[in-house]
Amino acid sequence: MYQIAFFDAKPYDRPAFEAHGAAAGLSFRFFETRLSVDTVELARGCDGVCVFVNDDVNAAVLDRLAGFGVRIVALRCAGYNNVDVRHAFGRVHVVHVPAYSPHAVAEHAMALLLTSIRRIHKAYIRTRDFNFSLDGLTGFDLYGKTVGVVGTGRIGRIFADICRGFGMKVLAFDKFPAADSGLEYVPLDRLLAESDVISLHCPLTDETRHLIGRDSLDKLKKGVVLINTSRGALIDAEALIDGIKSRRIGAACLDVYEEESDVFFHDFSGHIMGDDVLARLISMPNVIVTSHQAFLTNEALNNIAETTVANLLSFFRDGQPDNELCYRCDRIESCRRARSQRCF
């Protein structure tokens, strides 16, 4: 039975992974701590590791893992900006879950948008205090508004379809446009200037880091609503605060945050918030923050476990892991090697 060190484990992770792992002959060792240079020793004696968005799989960690004989890092998420894929090449194989439930994330993005513009969260709090006043709860229709979708992978396209259902005009931007999507692709500057709502669904790369930052604030349509359910660093958090204070940005709906790794998934309700930027954002009446929960549905958790286990088995049985991230190729997620060949 193959041993897998499972880092940053949460109670909601275990049932699906235990069920799928047992059926496949995999044994998971669950650790609540995140993977880092300080905790990598926990993986000694294991055949692989399973990590999430806030585990730090840097060059030093990868060297230690390779030294222990760990042969594969299995991300149980789509994004991989926390893994040094370049350094992993030739040392440790890296796989991910490219699509677990795109509907879950797209639907959460729309839920955030509706909650924000129709003041649902404020009304909920009021009525629990038997305050039925409507003062300050005026919103606006989505029908006829323009939404800019940045990143048109499966999640972005599903979100665009949801917006069409509300009668919105959809503008799209992607470095690699989706063929036959029916989307209207426009330059990024035009999308920023014309969109009443902008939703980010692109991966975090050097090119997309701070896509919404100080340089782009003046390009935004006044009063725009920003949604980010992808990666926190797509938005410069301090620039976001400036944009909100200047009234350039009308509202922000954030399921991710640039410095979330030391905050999200933990309970700090009895403590003073040490992150001043996040504290300021949460204090603003036109900002909604959820703690990276867009993926969190029963369907998504099951799909994540099923795909991750399948990725691991394909490597241990055949030496050819499914959904491998290959730095050697020009597009990391779409390795062009023949399926009959190993990547390294």
Paired residues of 288 in beta bridges: 253
Q: What would the pLDDT profile of 173-207 be if each residue is shown by its tens digit?
A: 999 999 989 999 999 999 999 999 999 999 999 99
Same domain, 285 and 303: no
pLDDT in tens, 331-343: 566 555 544 456 6
Q: Is the pTM of this model over 0.75?
A: yes
Structural domain range at position 120: 102-289
User: Residue 60, class by beta-carbon neighbours within 10 Å (0-12 exposed, 13-18 middle, 19+ buried)?
Assistant: middle
* CATH code (residue 194): 3.40.50.720
Same domain, 55 and 150: no
Residue 335 resides in a domain: no
Quick check: is 82 in a domain?
yes
State which H helix or E strand residue 20 sits in.
Answer: helix 14-24
Beta bridge partners of 57: 83
Indicate whether 224 and 127 sit together in one domain: yes
**Would you name the residues annotated as active-site residues?**
231, 260, 292
Which residues, given as ranges, of the chain have pLDDT below 70?
A: 328-344
Residue 340 covered by a domain: no
Q: Which element (helix H / strand E) includes 6?
A: strand 2-6
What one-letter code names the amino acid at 42?
A: L
Cβ neighbours of 12 (radius 10 Å): 10
Confidence at residue 339, expressed as pLDDT on a 0 to 100 scale: 45
Length of the chain: 344
The one-character DSSP state at 267 is -
Residue 326 forms part of a structural domain: no
Residues 151 and 227 in one domain: yes
Same domain, 175 and 246: yes
Are 59 and 191 in the same domain?
Answer: no
Number of structural domains (the chain) is: 2
Q: What is the C-alpha separation between 188 and 173, in angstroms, rounded?
A: 6
Statement to judge: residues 45 and 19 lie in one domain: yes
Among the three residues 289, 310, 326, which one is the final residue of a domain in this structure? 289
Q: Is residue 177 part of a domain?
A: yes
Residue with tokens 């003046």: 218
Cα–Cα distance between 94 and 91 in angstroms, integer? 10
pLDDT value for 329 = 59
Q: Give the separation between CA 228 and CA 198, rounded to whole angstroms.
A: 9
